[in-house]
Structure 1
Amino acid sequence: MTRVDFYILPEAGLDARHNFACRLVEKMYRLSQDVCVLTPNAQQCSDFGQRLWAYNPTSFIPHRCRTDEQSESHEQTDKVWVTHGDELLQHHNVLVNLSCEQPVHFSRFERLLEVVVPDKDVVQASRQRYRFYQERGYPIANHDMRR
């Protein structure tokens, strides 16, 4: 069963959310986990891919961005994917959800990481997803990064 982790951040905004997601991706990559990052649209997919390239100048996180059905095929050696749209998800160990919707195929993953910032819309959508996972018996862990 998929394990769900909610990371509650002290800072609001897309930059804070994406920077923390980069940190999570880097950690999972260093642990040799296959990671998929789900963004809400093609523009954020591209933007997050660019952010990953520049995130840490002393490390390198190779990744591919997949923004539509015509994108390059999935390679077994690709450890990190950035995508949007549930129909584009491949199986990986970890899914980082940056969309405000519950991923349709999240149960394909061993872990689902939800990044929550104190923005009204993000918090409201995160609470709905939390209830959804909880009602279905998924194990949930909360990580309060505000402390």
Structure 2
Amino acid sequence: MKISFYVLSENRAQDFLGFICQLVQTALNRGSQSLLILTEDDEILSSLDEALWTQDATSFIPHQCLPSIDDNDTNVADNIALAPVLLGAYMPADFNGVVLNTTIHPVNHFMAATSNAHPTRVLEIIQPNDTSVQEGRNKYKSYQQLDYELNHFKV
């Protein structure tokens, strides 16, 4: 699996949601795969939900928030058919596509042993603060141990 780390500058970090929207649009433009934005923060989820609809005055990024994991909705195909971008706090069992991870955990933390999920690529965002940098280093080490292809970009 290919893992890309995006290390944000101070300027980019000030528009964190805008950067995520741009990254999502770029990923969608470059491929036909669905995209999952993983977040465990309800505030970020709500803000992203709004930002994806209003990112650009002339367009929007169609998306859908995943139901609560307690709802036992394991059939994601219908959700993906409705919108190419999913937002949620878990990885659906049958997800195959790009994952944009905003959590403190590596993506493999969200892949259950019985899951059929096979992300093709992971996008990690590192903000310019000590906590985010340390979390990024921890994720990098985890991915490195799994022999994933790692690269990073300073933006």
**What's the TM-score once normalised by structure 1's chain length?**
0.84
Structure 2 match to 1:46: 46
Aligned-partner Cα distance in 1 for 2:104–2:118: 19
Are 2:29 and 1:30 equivalent residues in the alignment? yes
**Aligned residues with identical type, % of pairs:** 25
What is the total number of aligned residue pairs between the two structures? Answer: 143
Structure 2 match to 1:113: 123
Structure 1 match to 2:98: 94
Aligned-partner Cα distance in 2 for 1:133–1:71: 29
Instruction: Report which of the two has the higher share of helix.
Output: 2
Equivalent residues in 2 for 1:49-128, closer than 5 Å? 49-69=49-69, 70=71, 74=76, 75=78, 76-77=80-81, 78-86=83-91, 88=92, 90-103=94-107, 104-105=109-110, 108-128=118-138
Q: CA RMSD in A?
A: 2.4
Q: Aligned with 1:137: secondary structure?
A: coil
Runs of 4+ aligned residues of structure 1 deviating over 4 Å after TM superposition are 12-15
Q: 1:100 to 1:37 in 2, by over 3 A?
A: same
Counterpart contact for 1:46–1:65, Cα < 8 Å: no
Counterpart contact for 1:8–1:115, Cα < 8 Å: yes
State the Cα distance separating 1:42 from its structure 2 match: 2.9
**What's the TM-score once normalised by structure 2's chain length?**
0.80
Gap regions ≥5 residues in structure 1: none
Q: 1:50 to 1:15 in 2, by over 3 A?
A: farther
